[in-house]
């Protein structure tokens, strides 16, 4: 289990203890006794309430363990998260247990909870820093790949400690950091620095390790990985600049499942079931959204475009119109954040992802999936396939209503942006499964809550 996941679980377990204790403490402060607490607050209610708080806290991004508890954004996220949870707890008590929580008790319990959770995070993060000894990493080489990995490691001091580089003295001009010696000193340096991970680079100064040297490292319980694998762990994307050929992708489990009939049927059942429920649940919103669009500007309520789907087939994607009429009077234009062509209603729709609701119909028709690479326009695809290596691989799977690149990167407004988004898409396809899909859908939904931000 990764350290970040371990820290998150510790935070969740702590919250799960403090949430019911806050109600116990508030009841005692309010009435001076706990004699009737069990009658007013049953274990079932406390368990349901605690689960509700934890879900809301996740949506308000309170489980990003890497963040410093002293960050001002903690209060920005913690106070409204507790407030929303308090309202939900009150409704739960009244609707399902037929007895309201007293206003005084509710205020005291949640005021206590804010103080306790803030203190818990301050103490918890301090403990994480004290006992969470970072993994020492040695980089073999000092070229471009080595420098990039070094920068990523330095940005995560809580998890990794860059001990230095292994290269020839003639390569010191690269200036990427401390060069501890050449490859002949590998065993000595592994022992002296207690190295846990060796990153091999294929750039100048990054000579390949021999089988004997790799075996020496394994005997010392040292992992030997390459630049793409380190990128996967640190950035959750696959850097195409360091990939030699397509075989690197095609051998992964996700790409193997792309045309697997049973796996495809399971994903399709998941898509249809969830998209059908969402489609029906959102129908009352359609009339309201259509009315707001028509009030603000003349023109159609819906907007459709040709997009490229699985295996390069084209289909018509539909959205609620969020831009002015004739937003593209000439050639196709990249969409971007803070686009001036977006209407006032359109900004709200985009912020809440409501403009995407009609694409549920594309999912039900089988042209899209709930999760996958976002479908691109044919005019852009033809150009991007010429300019970006491996771009066509994203068409191995159906495009998605949301995707891993979508929640990790803003709008692609250039070839460079499209290249980086492709790296996230390839990471998704290589690890594609229903659990990952569910995680992406939850992240997409939670993205509309205050305080949430993209991973990058």
Cα–Cα distances in angstroms (integers) from residue 289 to residues 269, 283, 320, 440, in the given order: 29, 10, 8, 25
**pLDDT average, residue stretch 265-276:** 93
% residues pLDDT > 70 (the chain): 86
Give the per-residue pLDDT at 204: 46
- Strand residue runs (E) in 196-262: 197-200, 223-226
The residue assigned the tokens 């020496």 is 216
Residue 318: pLDDT band (50, 70, 90) is very high
Half-sphere exposure in the Cβ direction for 279 (13 Å, CA): 16
**pLDDT average, residue stretch 199-214:** 66
Residue 173: pLDDT band (50, 70, 90) is very low
pLDDT at 260 over 70: no
Rounded to the nearest 5 percent, the helix, strand and coil shares of the chain are 60, 10, 30
The residue assigned the tokens 């489990």 is 253
Max CA separation in the chain (angstroms):
78
**pLDDT higher at 149 or 221:** 149
pLDDT at 409 over 90: no
Q: Which two tokens stand for residue 407?
A: 């929640």
**pLDDT higher at 454 or 378:** 378
pLDDT at 381 over 90: yes
Give the per-residue pLDDT at 25: 94
Residue 124: pLDDT band (50, 70, 90) is confident
Give the per-residue pLDDT at 170: 56
Q: Which two tokens stand for residue 112?
A: 């206590």
pLDDT at 68 over 70: no
pLDDT at 446 over 50: yes
Q: What does pLDDT average to over the chain?
A: 84
CA distance 240 to 420: 9
**pLDDT average, residue stretch 316-320:** 93
Domains in the chain, start-ordered, CATH in brackets? Answer: 3-131 (no CATH), 135-235 (3.40.50.720), 257-446 (no CATH)
Residues 13-52: tens digit of each pLDDT: 999 999 999 999 999 999 989 988 888 888 999 999 999 9
- Is the C-alpha dihedral spanning 248, 251, 257, 260 positive or negative? positive
pTM over 0.85: no
**pLDDT higher at 361 or 214:** 361
**pLDDT higher at 94 or 274:** 274
């Amino acid at each position: 289990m990764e350290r970040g996941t371990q820290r998150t679980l510790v935070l969740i377990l702590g919250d799960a203890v403090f949430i019911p204790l806050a109600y116990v403490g508030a009841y005692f402060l309010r009435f001076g006794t706990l004699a009737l607490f069990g009658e007013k607050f049953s274990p079932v209610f406390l368990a349901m309430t605690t689960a509700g708080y934890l879900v809301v806290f996740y949506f308000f991004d309170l489980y990003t363990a890497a963040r410093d508890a002293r960050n001002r954004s903690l209060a920005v996220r913690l106070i409204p998260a507790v407030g929303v949870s308090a309202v939900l707890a009150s409704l739960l008590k009244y609707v399902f247990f037929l007895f309201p929580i007293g206003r005084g008790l509710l205020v005291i319990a949640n005021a206590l909870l804010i103080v306790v959770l803030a203190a818990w995070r301050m103490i918890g993060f301090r403990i994480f820093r004290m006992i969470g000894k970072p993994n020492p990493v040695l980089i073999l080489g000092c070229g471009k790949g080595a420098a990039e990995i070094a920068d990523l490691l330095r940005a995560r001091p809580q998890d990794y400690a860059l001990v230095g580089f292994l290269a020839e003295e003639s390569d010191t001009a690269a200036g990427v950091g401390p060069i501890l010696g050449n490859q002949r000193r590998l065993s000595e340096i592994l022992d002296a620095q207690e190295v846990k991970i060796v990153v091999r680079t294929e750039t100048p100064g990054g000579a390949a390790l021999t089988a004997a040297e790799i075996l020496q490292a394994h005997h010392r319980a040292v992992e030997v990985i390459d630049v793409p694998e380190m990128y996967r762990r640190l950035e959750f994307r696959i850097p195409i600049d360091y990939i030699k050929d397509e075989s690197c992708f095609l051998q992964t489990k996700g790409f193997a499942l792309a045309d697997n009939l049973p796996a495809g049927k399971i994903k399709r059942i998941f898509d249809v079931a969830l998209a059908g429920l969402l489609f029906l649940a959102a129908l009352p919103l359609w009339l309201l959204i259509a009315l707001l669009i028509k009030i603000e500007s003349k023109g159609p309520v819906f907007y459709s475009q040709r997009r490229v789907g699985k295996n390069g087939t084209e289909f018509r994607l539909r959205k609620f119109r969020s831009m002015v009429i004739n937003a593209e009077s000439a050639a196709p234009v990249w969409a971007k954040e803070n686009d001036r062509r977006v209407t006032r209603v359109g900004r709200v729709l985009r912020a809440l992802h409501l403009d995407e609701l009609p694409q549920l119909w594309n999912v039900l028709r089988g042209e899209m999936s709930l999760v996958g690479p976002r479908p691109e326009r044919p005019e852009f695809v033809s150009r991007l396939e010429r300019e970006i290596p491996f771009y066509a691989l994203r068409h191995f799977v159906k495009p998605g209503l949301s995707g891993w690149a979508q929640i990790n990167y803003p709008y692609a407004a250039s070839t460079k942006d499209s290249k980086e988004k492709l790296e996230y898409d390839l990471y998704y396809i290589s690890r594609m499964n229903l659990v990952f899909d569910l995680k992406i859908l939850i992240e997409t939904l939670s993205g509309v809550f205050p305080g949430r931000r993209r991973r990058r």
